[in-house]
Amino acid sequence: MPDELAAFVHEGRDGWLFLTAGSNNVIGQFSETQAMKQRLMDWKALLISRSRRCESLGTTYLHLTVPEKLTVYDHLLRDLEIDQRLSPALRLRQSLIWHPLVRRACLDLVTAFRKRSDSEDLYFRTDSHWSFAGRLVAYQALCEALGAVPREDFPQRPFDEQEFQGDLGGQLDPPQSELARFYALQRDSVRHYASPIVEAREAAGAINTLHVGAHVIYRNASPDADPRRLVLFGDSYSHFAPSMLMIMLAETFREVHFIWSTSIDWAYVERTLPDILVTQIAERFMFQVPDDTFDLDAYVAERFGAELGIGEPVQPD
């Protein structure tokens, strides 16, 4: 491996690769420094504030932190020690356990994932993201917390197996790949709206370049769909590709909105008045605490206006 890459990709056992550094200071978050203590205090205050605001709107709030691979598969590290008890996701959850309003809103995926870590690959070995098995565990936990009936046939839906070079495997010399399975989960849900940047990047065959500001809405007319409307603010772990978490939710609920952002656009929430608001973030991104002043329309106009040649964004019906 080139020297400049050694700082943030760790080669563990049995082909497992781990992100350890970078702009989010991944390993540094597993510490008891004053900076991390303050960040966790800020996260706690943020989730309490979000829960209270949703309560005032009559909206159910749920927060999902996707555990880092280091948090779940620390036993597969090689000559690298991580104190799993210092996982930011675990510590945040523990700090909220006695809070009557928020303890139900902050899901504990760390415990659920660690229980399954010896029997299933919950992440791709060569990538920083979770696998279908990991998404399925999170999806089932979300449904249980929301009192929704999960779709049980996802593992039986069509899939394709291919050689996959993950975002970490591609950094090695020579690159490392693995055989991975990708499911086509979308069946009942139909995309009702895609923002101009989503349509433009899809038309250009560049869906993999989408990031903050992507916005889609799916509707599901199936009689088995949960009748509630769900709005999801999340990152690449949610996504709306056919095999991802957002599609799992779209196959389950009557209407699902996805906005790629770890901060909430409260004007959007108040305009759509969802039954359920879900926020999702990767554990490593907890290094930065969202301020929830995100304005989707303003961001799109500033970030993508020149690319799209548009003025004010058109709101979906």
pLDDT in tens, 267-309: 999 999 999 999 999 999 998 899 899 999 998 888 888 888 8
Mean pLDDT over 142-167 rounds to 94
pLDDT at 203: 86
Distance, in Å, from the CA atom of 315 to the CA atom of 55, rounded to the nearest integer, reads: 26
Q: Can you read off the two tokens belonging to residue 29? A: 């978050």
Residue 5 banded pLDDT, cuts 50, 70, 90: very low
Mean pLDDT over 232-251 rounds to 93
pLDDT at 31: 83
pLDDT of 6 above 50: no
Distance, in Å, from the CA atom of 138 to the CA atom of 283, rounded to the nearest integer, reads: 14
Mean pLDDT over 88-110 rounds to 88
Distance, in Å, from the CA atom of 292 to the CA atom of 261, rounded to the nearest integer, reads: 10
Q: Which residue has the tokens 């280091």?
A: 70
pLDDT of 97 above 90: no
Mean pLDDT over 27-31 rounds to 81
pLDDT of 136 above 60: yes
Mean pLDDT over 53-58 rounds to 96
Mean pLDDT over 93-111 rounds to 87
pLDDT at 141: 95
For residue 69, give the nearest of 142, 3, 134 by alpha carbon: 134
pLDDT at 23: 66
Over pLDDT 90: what percentage of the chain?
A: 61
pLDDT at 98: 84
Mean pLDDT over 251-279 rounds to 97
Which helix (H) or strand (E) covers residue 155, if one does?
none
pLDDT at 311: 57
Global pTM reads 0.92
For residue 273, give the nearest of 235, 312, 229 by alpha carbon: 229
- Cα 219 to Cα 71, 83, 125, 146, 271: the distances in Å are 35, 43, 33, 18, 18
More confident residue, 64 or 2: 64
pLDDT at 35: 87
- How many alpha carbons lie under 13 Å from residue 151 in its C-beta half-sphere? 25
Distance, in Å, from the CA atom of 281 to the CA atom of 118, rounded to the nearest integer, reads: 24
Mean pLDDT over 189-203 rounds to 88
pLDDT at 3: 42
Burial 255-292 (b: 16+ CB within 10 A, else e): bbbbbbbbbbbbebbeeeebbbbbbbbbbbbbbebbeb
- What's the mean pLDDT when you consider all of the chain? 89
pLDDT at 1: 41
* Minimum mean pLDDT range among 28-42, 151-165, 277-291: 28-42
Is residue 124 within 8 A of residue 164, CB to CB? The reply is: yes
Residue 12: DSSP 8-state: -
pLDDT at 313: 53
* Minimum mean pLDDT range among 211-215, 285-289, 309-313: 309-313
Residue 84 banded pLDDT, cuts 50, 70, 90: confident
